[in-house]
Amino acid sequence: MYKSPNSGEVSLSAATANEYLVVTGHSWTLSARSLRSFEAGFGRKAESLIAGGGVGLSLLLSLLVWLMATGRARAIQLAESMTKDLRIAVQNTESAQRDLAVQAQSLAQSNTDLEQFAYVASHDLREPLRMVTMYLALVSRKLGPDLDADMKEFIGFAVDGAKRMDALILGLLEYARIARSEMPLQPLALGEPIAESLRNLQILCQEAGAVVSVAEDLPSILGDRTELIRLFQNLFANAVKYRSPDRAPIISVGWRDDGTEWCVWVKDNGIGIAPEYFEQVFGIFKRLVTRKEYEGTGIGLAICKRIVEHHLGRIWVMSIVGEGCTFLMAFPKIDAQKGH
């Protein structure tokens, strides 16, 4: 590639390079020569420049090889560290999943045992309570003429307390009974249990002067007919019970399509619920008013919540105090319910 002009191999003082090619059967010679001005610019420095370039190139190549070797080692070390961390994370996740499954099974068993206890206890408690009520009535009848006003009042308090206790036990028994049926949920148009619950409350609604309107073409869900009748019967009864004292109850049932769910609501114009009680109102034995104002056990909405959850749904309330309540329920559509 490079020839010194003093080598005597060429007559011209120039660096020459030849390349021999064969193209389409013809031989070609390509000859390249440096100009004298280029050669004169280098002079005696040419050999030094070439030597220095070679050394520099060697150093660069050595550095590149070293970087590649150490980089590969670091990459392998990093990959091993990440693999170890991932393996530990997977092991921790599997352990957490096993613990969660055990806890879920334990919780399910506890719930089953609690429901069984509530069912048996509620059933067995009613018998001695009936005995107390019966003997109080016998005492009152036996000693009727001899009882003074205070004694009659005391016996009245005892009988009233026994009746309230019986109502609470019945409510607890009904609460425990929900979802105990082994019958599978069946396709059911919501209009049917709504109509049946209104028939059951016909006299109550007439006495209160209630006006009830139900939207047409209510959707169908997978449901338990008996439970759904109880659900809407509780909501309608509450709307009548907690009505405003200065106006007749107006109750309406509506629905809308929320994609994978049907949203159904029962709206009234009663006394309403303050926002801070929107969650508390669904608790068991939770009452927001005194017994003197409104009779009840405080378990009706807890039963509603349990029924809706048994149907894989949700229930919540929206209300303005003094203007009424809207109880909304979201039920999965039949295809979504079957997926569960």
pLDDT in tens, 88-130: 888 888 888 887 877 777 776 766 666 666 666 666 777 777 7
69 pLDDT higher than 90 = no
Domains along the sequence of the chain with CATH: 185-338 (3.30.565.10)
5 pLDDT higher than 60 = no
The pLDDT tens digits for 272-285 are 999 998 998 998 77
| Average pLDDT of the chain, as a whole number | 79
The reported pLDDT for the residue numbered 336 is: 57
The pLDDT tens digits for 191-228 are 999 999 999 999 999 999 999 999 999 999 999 999 99
More confident residue, 8 or 155: 155
- Residues 13/3, Cβ–Cβ less than 8 Å: no
CA distance 313 to 331: 5
The least confident of 79-88, 231-240, 284-293 is 284-293
The pLDDT tens digits for 290-325 are 555 656 567 889 999 999 999 999 999 999 999 999
**Per DSSP, what are the bridge partners of residue 125?**
none
What confidence tier does 2 reach under pLDDT thresholds 50, 70, 90? very low
Q: Look up tokens 């590639």; give the residue.
A: 1
Q: Average of pLDDT values for 259-265? A: 95
The pLDDT tens digits for 151-198 are 888 888 888 888 777 777 777 777 777 766 667 889 999 999 999 999
Longest dimension (CA), the chain: 157
Amino acid (1-letter code) at residue 332: P
**Per DSSP, what are the bridge partners of residue 223?**
186
Model confidence, pTM: 0.59
The reported pLDDT for the residue numbered 13 is: 47
The reported pLDDT for the residue numbered 11 is: 42
The packing angle between helices 149-177 and 300-310, to 10°, is 10
Give the CA distances from residue 253 to residues 178, 198, 204, in Å, rounded to whole numbers and listed in that order. 24, 12, 18
Amino acid (1-letter code) at residue 21: L
